[in-house]
Amino acid sequence: MAVMSSSSFRRCFLLLLLLDASRAFELQEATIDSIQRAFAAGNLTSRELVESYLDRIRSLNALLLAVIEVNPAALQEADAADRERLSGRGGFLHGVPVLLKDNIATHGGDGLNTTAGSFALLGSSAPRVDAGVVRRLRRAGAVVLGKANMAEWANFRSFVAPSSWSARGGQARNPYVLSASPCGSSSGSAISAAANLAAVTLGTETDGSIICPSHLNSVVGIKPTVGLTSRAGVIPISPRQDSIGPLCRTVADAVRVLDVIVGFDKDDAAATRAASKYIPAGGYRQFLKVDGLVGKRIGILRRFFNFSSDSSYKNAVFESHFDTMRQKGAILIDNLEVANSSIILDVNQSGEAVALLAEFKLALNSYLSDLSSSPVKSLADVIEFNNQHSAEERLDEFGQPIFLAAENTSGIGATERSAIARMSQLSKQGLEKLMAEKRLDAVVAATSNAATIFAIGGYPAISVPAGYGGDGIPFGLCFGGLRGSEPKLIEMAYGFEQATLVRKPPSFRE
């Protein structure tokens, strides 16, 4: 019998490794790590990856309405990434396709619109090359795949329009149960991540718009501390509450995106400078610890574990999760209450409604007036556009009462300052006081029920898949903490995810 030489053995071994790597890569549930391994092995290119996602979008988007438009320059961007890789350039997001929520601007050269789902902004051009977070993504080598559908104007036009509908994109659909709400306003981003239409996605949150769609679409959503990510070039609601964050299939992927998009931006200088002190040396990936729950003091906000359906089943699931967290070393403090929760959750009593209306008008008028070209230059112009295009914007059905109320404001006066001060006091006497008294690292709530508590204080939160109801609709567990607590939240969210491994691909059932 012939004996194989050592050089021949090495060649065969390397060939087997390459073949194994080729078999191991699948688009379904692909992670940033698996994509980069396939790139490194030479059996996947950015062009092939983008083509695969574009094919999947063509196949599924008519059903889901998750993507509002694809980037006509995506393949050219992918080709450029492939050339850069040959010259030695790399990194976690290099060559990885990213879908952006349709309120996050990109430069006009790629042919993409930025409309917040409204026909009023179709054809407008942003003055800057890209939104601040997009500049960071491109510097990291990411490929902009397109724009994700969203609740029109981030669900800040109408009280009755579905939170996942826009005039341009239509009614987005939950990929797990098509008849169920996918929530909003970052609905398209969450659906796209869940249904494997993109490697990773970006969304925005003012009050629940990342956390809610994340939990209902079984993806991981990170709503960062306000100011940790730049809001420059993003269609605003409130500079005091707006935050941009990733929605991905895994905590690790979301954290890798977070690492890229955080940091100072001269175009959002005050907020990003103030929050930059929270960014840890060495970034956030170091907190992806399997034992991240060990020693963490976590408060259970029991009032946020009340369910309108499947209550006994969901309660049992969460109790099992709490047991798992204890087994992994967490110290759970049960039956906690944030002071004045009922007032905080009532936007009229807390002052949030009063503040947001005035902030929205000021911020939107500033954004629109800064555009290089636009059919509308002010909130008043948008209102009139809707009046003139009532059929396309479904004005008779949904109206625009929030717009009208915002237009009726006249800046930040005594009433608005009082409302903002009230929210600050509610936050200090609420979550901040509770966490200090109980020496907590985080609090947990089911689904997105506590989103407003995190929103008005500018606090971070991470939603992680927690289960699926008897109807098949996903639900999540939300970890929240004080400003700058992302390292601890990441440790806990990752530890929980790795201990439970709840997420599964969608079934697209009716």
Are 166 and 65 contacting, i.e. CB atoms less than 8 angstroms apart?
no
The amino acid sitting at 86 is: L
Which one from 101, 147, 361, 488 is the annotated catalytic residue?
101
426 close to 350: Cβ distance less than 8 angstroms: yes
Which of these is catalytic: 209, 218, 427, 448?
209
Task: State the catalytic residue, choosing from 185, 187, 218, 485.
Answer: 185
- One DSSP character per residue, 322-344 reads HHHHHHTT-EEEEEE--TTHHHH
Half-sphere CA count of 445, side-chain side, radius 13 A: 24
Q: How far apart are CA 142 and CA 106, in angstroms?
A: 13
In 3D space, the residue among 416, 398, 395 whose CA is nearest the CA of residue 406 turns out to be 416
**Residue for token pair 């806990």:** 492
Does 101 qualify as catalytic in the annotation? yes
- Those residues whose C-beta lies under 8 Å from the C-beta of residue 484, and which sit 6 or more positions away, are 225, 275, 277, 278, 460
Q: Report DSSP state, residue 97.
A: E
Long-range contacts of 16-25 (CB under 8 A, 24+ apart): 17/41, 18/42, 18/43
Is 185 annotated in the active site? yes
Strand 461-468 with 220-223, pairing: antiparallel
d(CA 304, CA 447): 8
Distance CA 247, CA 231 (A): 17
For the annotated catalytic residues, the residue numbers are 101, 185, 209
